[in-house]
Structure 1
Amino acid sequence: MMTETVRVAVPRKGRPLEAVLERFATAADFAEVADEITSTLRFEKSVTKGHSHPDQNVYERLAAYSDLDAASAPEYTLLRDDREGMPRRIVFDSVTFETDDVEVHLVGREEPFRALRTHEFALGFDSADLVLEEVVQLQPDGLGSIEDVNARIDPMDTDVRVVSGLGDTVYHTLMADPELLPPGADLDRDFVADYAGDLCISPRYERLVEAVLGTRCLDDVTFAYPTEGPEEEAAIADTGLGVYLTMTGSTAREHGLVLGEHLFPSETVLMENVAETQPAAEAVKDIVASPDLETELRV
């Protein structure tokens, strides 16, 4: 009996792709290939950043990475980078590997979430941020879990639902100038609800911030945005209050900011298009999102 192949949309590069590769490496006999892909893309990122200077040009490196004789070898492709001159960058294209029940074909996409929305795939991985930015309904109270996210997706808008998170978490976090906080006050949603003034955020996160704070917190709040140049933490320090991604919070503290509530975990999530999911796709979901591995989106 031929093993059925399940195509899964994944990011082409970066932390989200590494999280996906790590999860499948844990759940299937895929660790060596996953490490090879991660190492290759980290090197190419170093080239992109100007930290590495290989003797081979981008086309020669792409040919060196390719092994057309190996059925399960990873494949890469070239994309135009947004650096000056728009040079080409090597990114992930696809790889196929077998599990006990199905053959998994990971396919690189620039926008996996949108590929699911257009019914190209039954399963895919992308940032949870994109789900909030594009399809969740805004309500007075903020979001608290994966179940909250799915409950706010209009079924008339999309068939895509979030299944689980992968735990590669950095947080959208409240930050403030300590002089803005009354003695003993907590920097949390309730503080924002009582606050009137500017809240500094990245422009692309406006809808996400509205979703995770809840609209009741924003009645007297005006969004302010960093200007070109200073890093976001510096802009928040100038504004007095803001929301930005943190891992350790060290940069925020260097700018004299105090860290408050972790509002939303920005992590890679497994998603499914419920109109396209078949038994083979269910088997892949079981591999990735078993009870022992599942991570909820918490506040």
Structure 2
Amino acid sequence: MTTPVPIAVPRKGRPLEAVLDRFANVAGLEVATLADDVTSTLRYEKAVTKGELAADRGPYERLADYSTPADPYAPEYTLLRDDREGMPRRIVFDAVRVDVDGVPVELIGREEPFRSLRTHEFALGFDSADLVLEEVVELRPAGVEGLADVNDRIDPRESDVRVVTGLGDTVYHTLMATPELLPAGADLDRSFVTDFGGDFCISPRYERLVTAVLGTDATADLTFTYPDPDHGEEEAAIAETGLGVYLTVTGSTAREHGLVLGEHLFPSETVLMRNAAETSGAIDRVRDRLVRPESASALSV
């Protein structure tokens, strides 16, 4: 039997759903049905974890029911300990085997797929583009404006991982400001930030990402501040600070806090990645099939 091509994928949430949608699009109805099953199972388990639903059986009983080892194509799940305060163990995705154009593929859940590619455990994987900026994109005076800039900023001595394409599950790191901070007729964009000096509110983990996106010239005179994790939403903290950046889809919460929405700085998107040092005919075939010709964010790698 042909050895499956292993692909590292997220264990839960929107990024995993985006991955399953992509495989459903390229591998047919049977995989689409499987993807729906995994998605509905994990949404139910998330609701149980958050206390929105009450399960009539314990986690081990549910886990045994979900996974059917006798069927090589049944999805498998595992228990994950959530480190956040007050969060119990959660059932998450572990693995499933599918076929892509006659090539067997095994999707394997990882907490940090990007790092699994960096250590050459996998040749292909999916993870957030944010993590690439946080870890390996070189900081330069000018910022990164989109996925097309990312690979050019990765030092080949630092990492063999390259972004292949985005999956389109896009939310944006968006500039926000109070109206009082903006002069009449001013645009809330990168150039405004470059000329600005003062407090700039961001999520704590995103200091390097924001520096990569805006560039070191724009951030030289900024003082990063962070929301108090025990007091309200990030948008409220930005409104108090006056200027900042946060992830948005519609921007409705930001407007509720009286904020003006500015430039979409960078797409926070699930991306297909490859380790350029790990290759084979089967790996390349699967990679090429996963990149849809109409995908606007496909990159040259």
TM-score scaled by structure 1?
0.96
Residue 4 of structure 2 aligns to which amino acid in structure 1? T
SS of the residue corresponding to residue 293 of structure 1 reads coil
Q: Is the 8 A contact 2:164 2:298 kept in 1?
A: no
Residue 296 of structure 1 and its aligned partner are, at CA, apart by 5.4
C-alpha distance after superposition, 1:61-119 (max 9, x if no partner): 10111112211000000111235565221000000011223111000000000000000
Residue 4 of structure 1 and its aligned partner are, at CA, apart by 4.6
For 1:257 and 1:232, the matched residues in 2 are separated by 12
Residue 12 in 1 paired to residue 14 in 2?
no
For 1:188 and 1:170, the matched residues in 2 are separated by 17
State the match for 1:214 in structure 2.
215
* Structure 1 stretches of at least 4 aligned residues deviating more than 6 Å after TM superposition: none
SS of the residue corresponding to residue 41 of structure 1 reads helix
Matching of residues 103-142 of structure 1 within 5 Å: 103-142=104-143
C-alpha distance after superposition, 1:137-189 (max 9, x if no partner): 00111112333111111111111011010000000000000110001100000
Matching of residues 84-103 of structure 1 within 5 Å: 84=85, 87-103=88-104
State the match for 2:171 in structure 1.
170
Residue 116 of structure 1 aligns to which amino acid in structure 2? L
State the match for 1:31 in structure 2.
32
Q: Is the 8 A contact 2:291 2:298 kept in 1?
A: no
State the match for 1:288 in structure 2.
290
Provide the aligned length of Structure 1 versus Structure 2: 296
Residue 230 of structure 1 and its aligned partner are, at CA, apart by 2.0
Given the superposition, is the C-alpha separation of residues 130 and 227 from structure 1 closer, same or farther in structure 2, using an over 3 Å criterion? same
For 1:188 and 1:296, the matched residues in 2 are separated by 26
SS of the residue corresponding to residue 150 of structure 2 reads helix
C-alpha distance after superposition, 1:36-62 (max 9, x if no partner): 000000000001111010110111110
Q: Which moved more, 1:107-116 or 1:275-284?
A: 275-284
For 1:295 and 1:25, the matched residues in 2 are separated by 19
State the match for 2:154 in structure 1.
153
Residue 259 in 1 paired to residue 261 in 2?
yes
State the match for 1:58 in structure 2.
59
Residue 277 of structure 1 and its aligned partner are, at CA, apart by 2.0
Given the superposition, is the C-alpha separation of residues 84 and 197 from structure 1 closer, same or farther in structure 2, using an over 3 Å criterion? closer
Residue 13 of structure 1 and its aligned partner are, at CA, apart by 0.4
Q: Is the 8 A contact 1:166 1:294 kept in 2?
A: no
State the match for 1:179 in structure 2.
180
Q: Is the 8 A contact 1:4 1:102 kept in 2?
A: no
- Structure 1 gap ranges (5+): none
Q: Is the 8 A contact 1:3 1:101 kept in 2?
A: no
Q: Is the 8 A contact 1:172 1:245 kept in 2?
A: yes
Q: Which moved more, 1:189-198 or 1:277-286?
A: 277-286
Residue 192 of structure 1 and its aligned partner are, at CA, apart by 0.4
Q: Is the 8 A contact 2:49 2:89 kept in 1?
A: no
Q: Which moved more, 1:108-117 or 1:280-289?
A: 280-289
For 1:23 and 1:10, the matched residues in 2 are separated by 12
State the match for 1:235 in structure 2.
237
SS of the residue corresponding to residue 132 of structure 1 reads helix
For 1:48 and 1:88, the matched residues in 2 are separated by 8
Q: Is the 8 A contact 1:203 1:225 kept in 2?
A: yes
For 2:160 and 2:188, the matched residues in 1 are separated by 36
Q: Is the 8 A contact 1:123 1:277 kept in 2?
A: no
Residue 22 in 1 paired to residue 24 in 2?
no
Q: Is the 8 A contact 1:172 1:263 kept in 2?
A: yes
For 1:56 and 1:22, the matched residues in 2 are separated by 29
Given the superposition, is the C-alpha separation of residues 214 and 83 from structure 1 closer, same or farther in structure 2, using an over 3 Å criterion? closer
Q: Is the 8 A contact 1:169 1:266 kept in 2?
A: yes
Query: Identity, % of aligned pairs?
Result: 70
For 1:238 and 1:85, the matched residues in 2 are separated by 28
TM-score scaled by structure 2?
0.95
- Structure 2 gap ranges (5+): none
